[in-house]
Structure 1
């Protein structure tokens, strides 16, 4: 396996630097949009019936759009704001000593054998907070492995595989379920007056949590960690990391938590409960729920503020952030750490915006979905075809909800007429979409993972990261997809509530 991965890495390392890659892609989008406009490329939107025509970025209208939206594209790019906010909060947590103290407690109290299992489970469950796991959990996964004397890149890879690869598995019903089932219901209404329940895949997703955790832990243990040991010079022993120093110049790594810290923690918990649980709480939506609405929109801010306040209190107790200059310097370090990521995101934001404005993505998705629709096959074989198609398309179009909004109006009615239940189609889409998230550099959070890796090993390239993540992706696609195929073959219910 090590030799195979090394061969793959040799090929993958021929990919250009991420900044160059996305610059090339911007140029390619410009050229293809001009060709598509001249050739009259178009497709009919499956839901609205409107004809979508490719627009040229090389036209006068396109040039005006690119110039006038350059700043707005970057400022409104979804992966930028949350990352900056979390970088500020976790920089405070690191410089105050709170993060090292928590990681030390976690690694000391968790058996070595169970450490990857705990990380994998937390990664899978993080999808309940949508994309927060990328900016909150992934840096902790690497740091926990580092503190335990294991390769931090392996910890980062395991966390990434579970946060992103296991995005559709969860023990709880979350916003992802609500979002996808809503799109599925609208698509099914095109052929029959039925709804797809938010619980349509619930039984399968509960089992999927344990399947994803076991698959990722085993891949990490038998493939990824041995590969990293054999191909890097990083020591297996615990690396040394300088601890923040107290004013007297002596390190203070073993400091405990004071009474003020615990009082602050209890106060924050009470505030969270008060904002969410009482009837009419301000973070509830109009129906009194939390899955959509103000709570989910405020979740990243709530986490960042809570971490920042706790880190500040801990830093003052330990005399590490006991002055304004120290506190401000700790915040500034957070921006310094993610500066390479922000520079890259400026180019990525332009590529995503230009690709969307030109309508190339829409036309591509509709045409490829039409190809899949032409396969007149039934049952599990149809699901296998759908999973392979989605896994391939996912390498080029990242957003799960946007992709499903385009595919569902074509796929769900077509397969319904073939006798395939919409909850089965939705389940197949979710498995394939999650599995290959981790092996496409076009995913917005992929560069963020690369930035996290550079904190521990500056030699990690796009090709190396893709090579490390490939065993996870292939294992999830085969095992998880195989589980769904067997599930449908046996006729087991995917959830407690089918389409009604």
Structure 2
């Protein structure tokens, strides 16, 4: 829990927090939102709200019309009731979360996480804790979904071990992984996904254009370096002071368990067991990592899709969820067998069961969130909003700096309703990319501008699939931490990452800086 005598009790963020926390439980908020979407869908369907899909056509070659669908239609009512089990079980983050947390439960309850983090924190400069967490989070989004369920909760553990507020660590990790989703030091699978969509959009004007997966490399690397001090400053100077001094709740000895015992408090044999456990866990972790690397080079290369071009490494990235599960399970078991916390396989099963018990509230939230997201998609309201919003920008005929700013704002706004980065770009690219090419802006710069807006509002929308999970992580450390608390905590990150990202994009276009190897911001359409 936090010390109540803090600045958290005043200011605009405090008002947002109090207003948000007065709302019903997030699970019931999703239920109310479902009712709102149902009402809007009925009205939109009645008035014939529609949009022309920018890429798809009917079988006869005529444009595909996307029409608002009433959620009270017989078809959608049937879909809701018949598909309810699969809607829940197929909720995008569900499998990732459950699989990783099974392994993480063993690593945590065996004492491995506490021992590793306690030692690492004591040896690291405290002044650099926040930027290290933020940088690892941004680089870690190469692992996509695995970063959400591994790095973010670990950031809370690291901060707790350092005697700092664990929710501040979760906020810094969340801002890096999700707010900085498009920022990185290296291109990854997101670049392959986005540029694949860009290439299809470019083909309408220039079939000779060739996709370069490193086409945004310089831009996203600089964006990482800009976001790093933003997250650092906001975490240390704004967020953590609001949260106050962390004080574990009665019966919550998690933070205390993170601290490394001194020789005067614990018998020497226990310290020796811990050292033996650390060595055994380290050897086990190394073997798991070598096995994963080996599967990238062994005959048949099971984790490499040879001949897939930019998607060559995609099986490896997608396997990281299973990799983290095995890594945590094996290392935790190895540590516990040496330290004495795991005496048999029954202890391992018990630890995994306890980890699932900790996720019980998240499962309730996920059930409500999964159905809200599904119903919103069934109504077609998100698609119509995205297509029509892009059309408005196209017809505005504004100066390039203003146009780039509006495109980023449009992306950030749409991101509040449609979470998938590739799905949004698939809708926006067919309009925005050719439009900017005709105005002299390269497809790579159009993609870069989209990326700025795509990440900044991830951290403030409950429609983001992992938003309920982050709330669950926070409530582990602060039981009174509500939806308003999470929104108030993440809004400063969202605003400043959006503002700095927009400034970066405008400066990049104005200065004509290279976006990647052999890639510039300008484009000249060659006449046939």
TM-score bracket relative to the smaller structure: over 0.9
Structure 1's 279 and 211: CA in aligned 2 closer, same or farther, altered over 3 A? Answer: farther
CA distance in structure 2 between the partners assigned to 1:292 and 1:274 by the alignment = 14
Counterpart among 329, 336, 343 of residue 350 in structure 2? 329
2:168 aligned with 1:148: no
What is the DSSP-based 3-state SS (H/G/I as helix, E as strand, rest coil) of the residue aligned with 2:66? strand
> Is the CA contact 2:185–2:220 (under 8 Å) kept in the aligned structure 1?
yes
Tell me the equivalent position of 1:11: 19
What is the DSSP-based 3-state SS (H/G/I as helix, E as strand, rest coil) of the residue aligned with 1:50? strand
What is the DSSP-based 3-state SS (H/G/I as helix, E as strand, rest coil) of the residue aligned with 2:477? coil
Tell me the equivalent position of 2:98: 84
2:368 aligned with 1:341: no
Structure 1's 372 and 253: CA in aligned 2 closer, same or farther, altered over 3 A? Answer: farther
Tell me the equivalent position of 1:425: 446
> Is the CA contact 2:179–2:457 (under 8 Å) kept in the aligned structure 1?
yes
Choose 140-149 or 434-443, whichever is displaced more: 434-443
Tell me the equivalent position of 1:441: 462
What is the DSSP-based 3-state SS (H/G/I as helix, E as strand, rest coil) of the residue aligned with 1:170? coil
Tell me the equivalent position of 1:286: 306
2:388 aligned with 1:367: yes
TM-superposed deviation, 1:395: 1.6
Structure 1's 390 and 359: CA in aligned 2 closer, same or farther, altered over 3 A? Answer: same
Tell me the equivalent position of 1:201: 216
Tell me the equivalent position of 1:494: 515
CA distance in structure 2 between the partners assigned to 1:346 and 1:141 by the alignment = 26
Question: 1:282-315 deviations in whole A, cap 9, x for unaligned?
Answer: 1110327775442223220111112111111111
Tell me the equivalent position of 1:227: 242
Tell me the equivalent position of 2:257: 241
Tell me the equivalent position of 2:281: 261
Runs of 4+ residues over 4 Å off in structure 1? 232-235, 242-245, 249-254, 288-292
CA distance in structure 1 between the partners assigned to 2:205 and 2:230 by the alignment = 38
Question: 1:133-187 deviations in whole A, cap 9, x for unaligned?
Answer: 1100011100110110001111111111111111111111100000001101111
What is the DSSP-based 3-state SS (H/G/I as helix, E as strand, rest coil) of the residue aligned with 1:57? coil
2:292 aligned with 1:272: yes
Number of residues of Structure 1 aligned to a counterpart in Structure 2: 494
CA distance in structure 1 between the partners assigned to 2:480 and 2:165 by the alignment = 14
> Is the CA contact 2:114–2:258 (under 8 Å) kept in the aligned structure 1?
no
> Is the CA contact 1:54–1:363 (under 8 Å) kept in the aligned structure 2?
yes
Please tell me the root mean square deviation across aligned C-alpha atoms, in Å. 2.4
TM-score under structure 1 normalisation? 0.93
Which ranges in structure 2 are unaligned for 5 or more consecutive residues?
A: 1-6, 57-62, 524-528
TM-superposed deviation, 1:242: 8.0
> Is the CA contact 1:379–1:489 (under 8 Å) kept in the aligned structure 2?
no
CA distance in structure 2 between the partners assigned to 1:348 and 1:127 by the alignment = 23
Choose 327-336 or 360-369, whichever is displaced more: 360-369
Which ranges in structure 1 are unaligned for 5 or more consecutive residues?
A: none
CA distance in structure 1 between the partners assigned to 2:312 and 2:461 by the alignment = 28
What is the DSSP-based 3-state SS (H/G/I as helix, E as strand, rest coil) of the residue aligned with 1:52? strand
